[in-house]
Amino acid sequence: MKNLYLVALLTLISPLFTNIILAQCDGATLESLTNPGPFEVETLTEADGIRNGPDYFGATIYYPTNATPPFSSIAIVPGFVSLPSSVQDWGPFYASHGIVTIIIGTNSLFDFPEARANALLDALETIRQENNRDGSPLEGLLNLDQLAVSGWSMGGGGAQRAAVLDNSIAGVIALCPYLNTPQLDHASPVLIFSGEDDPTAPPSQQADIHYNVTPNTTNKVLFEIENGNHSVANTPNGANGTVGKIALSWLKLYVEQNDCYCTLLMDNLFVDSDVASKIEQNFECESLGTNEQQLFTGFYPNPTRDIINFKIIRDVQFTLISPLGQLLLKGNLTKNNKQIDLSHFPESMFYLHIEGQVIKLIKYN
């Protein structure tokens, strides 16, 4: 009888905690990752008074006009023998979601990744100075602790190198990066896009190696797009818009430090993706208030009469423990087996142990 009362009580209380957690993330949904975003966008160039950086050639700053500051920022550089127009779609996209974006050209179209890394760092200096420039529409509105870099091809390799050169960079997005013999010992969270059929930077020779040589202590993701070519991530519309959704979520998570976007990545964008030929990841979601939310926002139903379903992106081991501490069940959750069957257990509350976490499961008849 005591167990029945406990089950009833937990049944009533559990949704309350869940609703509190989810209320914190009401604005972070797949539907919110639109192109364009909710904010109006305007631009600044050197003709408007922004700095002319010595390590790059020409710049355009895209910024939101009706969003709430302070704003994060990202600098983007194109690839070998390519103009800023090759990546310019990222400017209005990020800015329409509240992220100030500077897109630059290079002093030479033939600049190699290291020169492009220096160009990105110089572009971030322009952002810093814009925050202090009298008369700038961005004066005093930028969070200078939230600066990111990105680039395409050799620019993507340059973005990774920029994080090595400046450890204050809060995030990196490498678009089909090209960088031979990469030395990428940095701690900046990095998202790498690659194209499965990229003839210019084949993943096995470029992106895969970049991911592997980035330290395992660094939060990182490799997202390979099925049938993708070298320019598949040049715009946020790549892979039917998935590229933009993932990139925006990455910046919101690690640059703006909004944990709500972690579950969008882990439980939605990376799970059973129909546009990815390969996904590798080495990061975990921070707790949003309970252990249950750290890895398993997608387990349901709970309470249950029999089956509980789980959303996972890699295989994990579990043990099921009774309220008295007895081991009841051991097994694995895999992409082909995402369920635990409680039908043969009595009505009660159970503790599920997975990778150092404990979640409560409720069985009723």
CATH code assigned to 30-282 = 3.40.50.1820
Contact 297, 263 (CB under 8 A): yes
Work out whether strand 59-64 and strand 41-45 pair parallel, antiparallel, or are unpaired: antiparallel
**Domain spans of the chain, in order of start:** 2-23+291-363, 30-282
Strand, helix or coil for residue 81: coil
The Cα 35–Cα 43 span in angstroms is: 17
Comparing CA positions, the residue from 190, 237, 223 lying closest to residue 90 is: 237
Sheet holding 357-363, edge to edge: 327-333, 316-321, 348-354, 357-363
The Cα 58–Cα 123 span in angstroms is: 10
- Per-residue pLDDT at 298: 62
230 is catalytic: yes
**What would the two tokens of residue 241 be?**
């818009």
CATH architecture of 2-23+291-363: Sandwich (2.60)
**What letters, b where the CB count within 10 A reaches 16 and e where it falls short, cover 80-116?**
bebebebbbbbbbbbbbbbbbbbbbbbbeeebbbebb
Q: What's the CA angle centered on 189, arms 186 and 191, to 5 degrees?
A: 115
The Cα 82–Cα 55 span in angstroms is: 16
| 365 residues of the chain, pLDDT tens digit each | 444 444 444 444 444 433 433 445 667 899 999 999 999 999 999 999 999 999 999 999 999 999 999 999 999 999 999 999 999 999 999 999 999 999 999 999 999 999 999 999 999 999 999 999 999 999 999 999 999 999 999 999 999 999 999 999 999 999 999 999 999 999 999 999 999 999 999 999 999 999 999 999 999 999 999 999 999 999 999 999 999 999 999 999 999 989 889 888 987 899 888 999 999 999 877 543 333 334 544 677 878 889 988 877 677 888 888 877 778 898 888 877 888 999 989 988 888 887 666 778 888 88
Strand, helix or coil for residue 158: helix
Strand, helix or coil for residue 217: coil
The Cα 147–Cα 132 span in angstroms is: 16
**What would the two tokens of residue 148 be?**
């990111």
55, 111, 198, 259: the active-site residue:
198
Comparing CA positions, the residue from 314, 285, 281, 282 lying closest to residue 297 is: 285
Q: What is the pTM of this model?
A: 0.76
Q: Which residues contact 94 (CB under 8 A, 6 or more apart)?
A: 62, 74, 100, 101, 248, 251
198 is catalytic: yes
Contact 145, 167 (CB under 8 A): no
- Per-residue pLDDT at 289: 38
- Per-residue pLDDT at 313: 64
Outline where the chain has alpha helix (H): 2-23, 90-95, 113-130, 154-165, 207-213, 242-250, 260-264, 291-295
Tell me which DSSP letter residue 96 carries.
T
97, 186, 210, 230: the active-site residue:
230
Backbone angles phi, psi at 314, to 5 degrees: -155, 160
**Residue 23: alpha-carbon gap to chain centroid:** 21
153 is catalytic: yes
Alpha carbon of 308 to those of 189, 231, 337, 341: distances in Å? 33, 41, 11, 7
- Per-residue pLDDT at 336: 77
86, 150, 153, 348: the active-site residue:
153
